Amino acid sequence: MSTTLVWSAITIYVTIAIVIAFLSRTGKQNNMNSYFLGDRKMNGFVSALSYSATTYSAFMLVGLAGLTYNGGVGALGFELIYLMGVSLVAFFGPRFWKVGKKFGYVTPSEMLGDRYDSKAVAIIVAISNCIFLIPYSAVQLSGVGYLLQGVTDNAISFSTGVIIATALAIFFTYIAGIRSVAWTDSLQALFMIVTSTIVVIVLIKGLGGFSGFFGTLETKYPEYLTVPGNGFFSFINFLGLSLPWFFFSLSNPQVSQRLYMPSSLKSMKHMLMGFLIFGLIYTIVAVIWGYSALIMFPNLENADMATPLVLQSDLVPPILGVIVMVGIMAAAISTIDSILLTLSSLFARDVYGNVKRNTSDSAQLKVGKFVIPVIAALAFIFAQMEVNLIAVLSVSSSAGLLVVVPAIIGAFFWKKGTAAGVISSVVVSGLIVIILELMQMKPLGLASGLWGILISTILYITISVMTKAPEEKAKSFLSV
Amino acid sequence: MKNELRWGLIILFFVLIAYILPYTLLTNVTKWYGSFFVWIILTIIVIGINYLITKNWGKEK
């Protein structure tokens, strides 16, 4: 791919996105509610697209395509079971939304802190979210670096790619907080889905149409159409991979915070339905992408190379290839900026707001805005360093965030849950997840996420039963 | 609340099917209409259920 073409495409994308970001500036953005939640006035259409862009990162067309390349149809099952898990929004969405409105919560960890009547809960959940999500953002940043480096044969260096991605993420966050994030996300979501769908149609056509495409798979790679197939997706691996993701919509604050934002339950309905349809299409596209790579380049050592190779293949016209490359970049950046915004709200609201006494809303907003580039800088530095722990934290992010799920479910459905139960479940099982990932251990063959959710559920329930629950709080919270 | 429980169980049922079918009946069906198709159909069913659950949101509450 020619470097001039790549640069031109990036320039056009950046220009359009910046214009959209500036146009999104409405309202005063001078308080936490406005800056981080858009005054709880988001419409359904933008919410749906932004939710999609935030959820789906560069992982889809690089990682999921790679998983398909390595293990076949199990990748589809894994991602679709995740999508089915987003049904949790149909049950928890209205609950988050109502308590958020009534008690004025800005962050999910603030909600937990109030519900369990403990500042420590808010602080610990917020910090644990940061520990797992900053490395996750770092890996997204380096994804952009590798992508640009790969498609231009090193003409654009890894560092340049990472710098571009970091700068854009800060910029989209800074212009107007969640409003600029949501609107640029929406643009990027449309871009991601339209361009990648076109490429997949082109690929299927080039590889013999639907019957030719699946005919090749059925005769040459039959094991890629079944699980466990070539063994990559053994049932236990499949379970360990899919279960943490099943709860993603609750466990990841950058998406659960979205449940406070829709202007009405009708908007929330549109957000959920829009996202589910987007997710189904994008998942099928990513998996077919991986299959195409398998048919075209069967013997790659590193499956992550599949996507750059497909983009540069003869089947994909260069213009289209470069547009999709920008689409993948957009997918990464739209995930990073949302995480950046959410983490800074967590820090400002739950860490700063609780550690320092009597902070005003405007002081928290100031801290939040100050922290945005700091977190971005941390992610940037992590992306440059090849540190084992960072890769480990990123891989274990879904498992590490999962340990908060019992506390979230209990907040709405179990009066007897206590702060001690939450803190012990989050801290102990969070550490266990990190240790298991660091040591690459799978006791009894079970992945870290499964141990995490199991231990955190047990700890949450047993410690809660042994300690005294905040009855008044529970009552007023559950009566909403 | 009662309605929610019913819907929750129905979704859980389809999720379990999504875990079980591909690893039992479909392990040797090396065709597009094997696991590939079944997972997609199950997801469409679950999306349909979400539609039914959220149909009246914003109207009654």
pLDDT for A399: 86
Query: Which pLDDT score, from 0 to 100, does residue A86 have?
Result: 97
The residue among A84, A223, A246, A280 with the most chain B CBs within 10 A of its CB, best to mutate, is: A84
Contact B27 A273 (CB under 8 A): no
- CA B11 and chain centroid, separation: 5
Q: Which residues of A touch B47 (CB under 8 A)?
A: 273, 276-277, 280
Q: Give the nearest chain A residue to B61 (CA atoms).
A: A265
Instruction: Judge whether B59 lies within some domain.
Output: no
Residue stretches of chain A with pLDDT short of 70:
386-391
User: DSSP string covering A398-432, please?
Assistant: HHHHHTTHHHHHHHHH-TT--HHHHHHHHHHHHHH
Q: What is the pLDDT of residue A363?
A: 93
A364, A362, A365, A339: which is closest to A353 by C-alpha? A364
* Contact (CB<8Å) B28/A280: no
CB-CB contact of A242 with A77 (8 Å):
yes
Q: Which of B50, B51, B61 to mutate to test the interface with A (most CBs of A within 10 A)?
A: B50
Structural domain count of chain B: 1
State the smallest CA–CA distance between residue A180 and chain B in angstroms. Answer: 26
Residue A57 confidence (pLDDT): 86
Binary contact (B27, A268; C-beta < 8 A)? no
Question: Which residues, numbered 36 to 55 in chain B, qualify as contacts with chain A under a Cβ-Cβ cut-off of 8 Å?
Answer: 36, 39-40, 42-44, 46-47, 49-51, 53-55
Is the preceding omega at residue B22 within 30 degrees of 0, hence cis? no
Spell out the domain ranges in chain A.
3-478
**Chosen from A51, A102, A226 to mutate, greatest number of chain B CBs within 10 A:** A226
Cβ pairs bridging A and B (under 8 Å): 109
Residues of B in contact with A265 (CB under 8 A): 57-58, 61
Q: Considering the domain boundaries, does residue B61 fall inside one?
A: no
In a domain, B50, yes or no: yes
- Position A228, amino acid: P
C-beta atoms of A280 and B44 within 8 A: yes
**Residue B37 belongs to what domain range?**
2-54
Q: What is the ipTM of this complex?
A: 0.96
Number of neighbouring beta carbons within 10 Å of residue A300? 15
Closest CA to A426 of A132, A206, A42: A132
Q: By percentage, how much of chain B surpasses pLDDT 70?
A: 95
Search chain A and give the residue with CA nearest B5.
Answer: A91
Q: Burial-class residue A120 by CB neighbours within 10 Å (0-12, 13-18, 19+).
A: middle
- Residue A388: the pLDDT is 66
> What is the Cα–Cα distance from A136 to A398, expressed in whole angstroms?
9
> What is the pTM assigned to this prediction?
0.93
Q: Residue A275 corresponds to which tokens in the numbers above?
A: 């996202």
More confident position, A210 or B59: A210
Contacts (Cβ under 8 Å, ≥6 apart) of A13: A191, A326, A329, A330
Contact between chains at B36 and A228 (C-beta distance less than 8 A): no
Q: How many residues does chain A have?
A: 480
Sign of the Cα torsion A51, A55, A56, A60 reads negative
Encoding tokens for residue A215?
């005919």
Report helix, strand or coil for A8: helix
Cross-chain residue pair B46–A218, CB shorter than 8 Å: no
**Structural domain contains residue B60:** no
Res B61 pLDDT > 60: no
Closest CA to B46 of A157, A21, A82, A353: A82
CB A400 within 8 A of CB A393: yes
CATH 3.90.25.10 fits A3-478, yes or no: no
What are the structure tokens assigned to A466, written together?
């042994």
pLDDT number for residue A147: 84
For tokens 């039914």, the residue is: B52
